[in-house]
Structure 1
Amino acid sequence: MGDSTLTRIRLAQQGDPSALSLLLHEHYTFLYKYLIKATMNPSLAEELVQDTMVRCMEKISTYNGSSSFSSWLITIATRLYIDRKRRWRLEAKWLQEQNVHSVRWRFESRNMEWSDVLEALSRLSSPQRVAVLLKHYYGYSYDEIGDILQVPSGTVKSRVSAGLTQLRKELNEDEA
């Protein structure tokens, strides 16, 4: 790290907005290129660079020089990216649960029984659930399902097998 960067960091930590602005400007492209490679998504990379820059502005006083400034920025950016992915997983899980509740309500509102099997099916991954339904509820062959899903029949067999294994496990646990 050059003396000019160290000087800008010190000035930014003392509240000099132009030093902070110049510091962020100097590291923007470097950080963006890193995030493009990490996310493989230009718009997400752009968002994360912006979020990282905001976090840097908020936390510049905590930078202690134990690593290079660019490494500090990469650490912030990587943690933001991991947090974002974790939040997406939680949101996806929540949405799936809401969908299950909606389907369950539709069944119950029409006086149809919501069975343990449907409950267990709702917990399968979508690819497994579709494969199991097409095979064992609708009676398609593995080749036909492969054509429908545009995957090899071996993949269908694997999904059906894994789905049935999970269903058996869940249904046996419910009985115990």
Structure 2
Amino acid sequence: MELVKRHVSDKSYKDLRDRDLVKLFRKNGDESAFNELLNRHQSKVYSYIYSMVLNPEVANDIFQETFTKIVTKMDDTYNEQGKWIAWTMRIAHNATIDYLRKQKRYVHVSGPYDEDDSSDYFERMEDEDVVDADDQMIMNEERSDLMRHISRLPEEQRTVVLLRHYYEMPFKEIAELTDVSINTALGRMRYALINLRKYFEEDRQQELKHAKQ
């Protein structure tokens, strides 16, 4: 596709909504519009991919593959009625799952989950209004522990945890993105929380053991 240059300032691009940037790129091949979309969302997309594969080189390859597909498919498969980032995350998710399946590390789990029965692990991570340096250090350690434990989860459980609590995606969209029923998505969250509680309990037992020595 030949890119057409447009006389729009960088500031003007930053003020545009995603849907407007998409229209500029689709109708006029506006490279700057696409670059603004990339700059706006690349951190979220890459972070999701990396949190699933836990390998920076692999994550970078999948990230590049994702945006190659986005450029080639935006004229054909993107529905302007939907959110561009949701569409992009679906492509990133599918590319990531394809990789994991090829590695034969994809684990299927399901079970009941009550959306109201959430863990306070995530809630206490979200409070950034901390003044005391010691409190901030504790929060940083808790975040580190949480991500370490999330990385231990089976891929399907890790997916729903990240999409739900870090990208604030409702379970209906998670189910659509991962091509499962809402009950299955809820079940994966249930198992994920059970496992996370178990991992944190293991940490607590280890701390008690060391304290007695």
TM superposition score category, shorter chain reference: 0.3 to 0.5
| Larger Cα-atom Rg | 1
Greater per-residue helix proportion: 1
The TM-score, its normalising length taken from structure 1, stands at 0.45
